[in-house]
Amino acid sequence: MIGEIGHRSIVEMAQRAREAARRLASASPAAKAQALRQAAARLHSDWDALEAANRHDLEAAEAMGLSKAKLDRLRLTPRVRDDLVTGLLQVADMPDPVGEIEGLTLRPNGLQVGRMRVPLGVIGFIYESRPNATVEASALALKAGNAIVLRGGKEAFRSNQALVRLLQESLQQAGLPAEAVQLVPTTDRAAILELCHLGGLLDLLIPRGGKELIELVRREARMPVLAHAEGVNHLYVDDGAPVDKAVDIAVNGKAQRPSTCNALEKVLVHAAAAPEFLPRLEAAMTRAGVELRGCERTREVLPGVKAAGEEDWSAEYLDLILTLKVVDSLEEALAHVARYGSRHTEAICTNDHAHAMRFLREVDASLVLVNASPRFNDGFQLGLGAEIGISTSKLHAYGVMGVRELTTTKWIALGDGQVRE
C-alpha cells in the first residue's frame, strides 16, 4: 500500500491540477502555443541533461533484464528528440479548438442554439517505458486546455522527471501554471490504484501499456477510461494484388518497429495469390530476421515455416514474429479479422476498388488502410502532431486521440430575452 502520506500527496497533486485546469481553460491560444514552442527549443538546449537521465534509466533497466522491446520504447535518441520537436511545433501551430462554436442554429423563437468546444478538465495518464509519451501527452493536453497528471513506468522515472521539469519551466515562462503538468512522485504500483480512485478530481483516465495494465485500470477506475487493449493487426493480400507492394507493406508493418501497438501481427493471403506471394514474403522476412508461423495451407507452399497454433491467431507478439494464413475469399478474410482482430489497425493490399471499399466499410477498426502499412496508425503520421493514445472504444473517441479528442462540447444558447411559454 502507498500509505496515508502517499495518498494525501496524490490527492493534493490532483487538486492542484484541478486549479491549473481552471486557469488553462481561459488561457489564450498564444500563451499555450508559446509554452509548446519553448518546450521544443529546450529539448535541444537541455538535451545533454535529458540524455544523461535516460542513460541512467537504460542502465538500470538492462540490469533488471528488461526485454529488448521495452528497452527500445525506453530509449531517447536524437531521432526521437527531433520527432518530439516537430510534433510540439505542429501542435503549437494547429488551430486552437477551445471556444469554437459549432452547429449554431436559429430556433423559431429567435434563440440561437449550438455547441461550444471546451476542455475535458484534468486527465490522468498512466503509461509504461515510453518517456517520449510524457512530452506528447502533455503537449496535447495543454493545447486542449487540460491539466494532466502523469504516472510513468518506473523504468523511465529519471527521464520523466527531467522532461516534466522542462515542461513546467516552459509553462511558467509562458505565464501558465506549472501545475498543469505533474508527475506522480513515486514508482510504487499502488499509485495506479490511487489515481483510479480519484473520481471527482480526475475527469478522464488514459492507460497506455500492456494488456494487464489496461485491464486493471478499466476494472478499478471511478471515472471514464479511454484505451486500447491490444494491437492484433492484419494485412489481407487480395487476389491480383501487386506482389512487390504487398511484400513491402508487410515488411514495413512487421519489421520497422515490431514493439509498437500498430505493428503488423498477421498476414492473410488469397489462395490465388499465395504461390507467388508467400515465397517472396518468406525471403524478405528472413532478411529482416522475422520468424514466420503459418496455417497448414501456408506450410504447403512454405514447408520450412513453423506450424501456427490456435493461440497464434489472437496473439500480439510485439516482436519479430508473424503469422500467415491462406484464405479463399475476401469474405473469409473479413470473417477472420472480425473474430481475431482487436479493433486497432487493419489493412488490405488490392487492385480491386470494390474490394477496397468493402474492406473499408465492413472492417471494425480504429484505422483501416488500403495499400498502406499499418504503422501509419499514429498521431504524428496522421497529421495530429502527436497522440495521447489510441482508443478502440467508440464512445467519445475512436482511433488516435489528438487535441480535438481531448475536448468535449457543451450546449450554449444565445437569446434576447426569450422566456419559455
Could you report the per-residue pLDDT of 162-205, keeping only the tens digit for each? 999 999 999 999 999 999 999 999 989 899 999 999 999 999 99
Q: How many Å apart are CA 25 and CA 85, to the nearest integer?
A: 24
β-partners of residue 149 are: 124, 182
Q: How many Å apart are CA 98 and CA 254, to the nearest integer?
A: 38
Predicted model pTM: 0.86
| 3-state secondary structure at position 65 | coil
Q: For residue 95, what is the DSSP state?
A: P
Phi-psi region of 225 (alpha: psi -120 to 50; beta: other; left: phi over 0): beta
Residue 228 has pLDDT above 60, yes or no: yes
pLDDT band at 125 (very low <50, low <70, confident <90, very high): very high
Residue 1 has pLDDT above 60, yes or no: no
* Sequence letter at residue 311: E
Contact between 322 and 282 under an 8 Å Cβ cutoff? The reply is no
Residue 130 has pLDDT above 90, yes or no: no
| 3-state secondary structure at position 288 | coil
State mean pLDDT over 60-80: 90
Q: What percent of the chain has pLDDT over 70?
A: 99
Nearest to 249 by CA among 139, 169, 349: 349
CA 152 to the chain's CA centroid: 15
State mean pLDDT over 17-39: 97
pLDDT of residue 5: 63
pLDDT of residue 72: 85
Question: Using N-to-C axis directions, what is the helix angle for 29-45 and 157-173, rounded to 10°?
Answer: 130
Residue 26 has pLDDT above 60, yes or no: yes
pLDDT of residue 94: 94
State mean pLDDT over 52-67: 94
Q: How many Å apart are CA 280 and CA 57, to the nearest integer?
A: 40
Q: How many Å apart are CA 124 and CA 63, to the nearest integer?
A: 30
Give the DSSP letter string of 27-62: --HHHHHHHHHHHHHHHHHTHHHHHHHHHHHHHHHH
Alpha helical stretches, state H, 144-260: 157-173, 190-196, 211-220, 243-255
Residue with cell 493534493: 12
Q: How many Å apart are CA 331 and CA 335, to the nearest integer?
A: 6
Residue with cell 500527496: 9
| β-strands 399-400, 390-391 pairing | antiparallel
Q: How many Å apart are CA 228 and CA 382, to the nearest integer?
A: 18
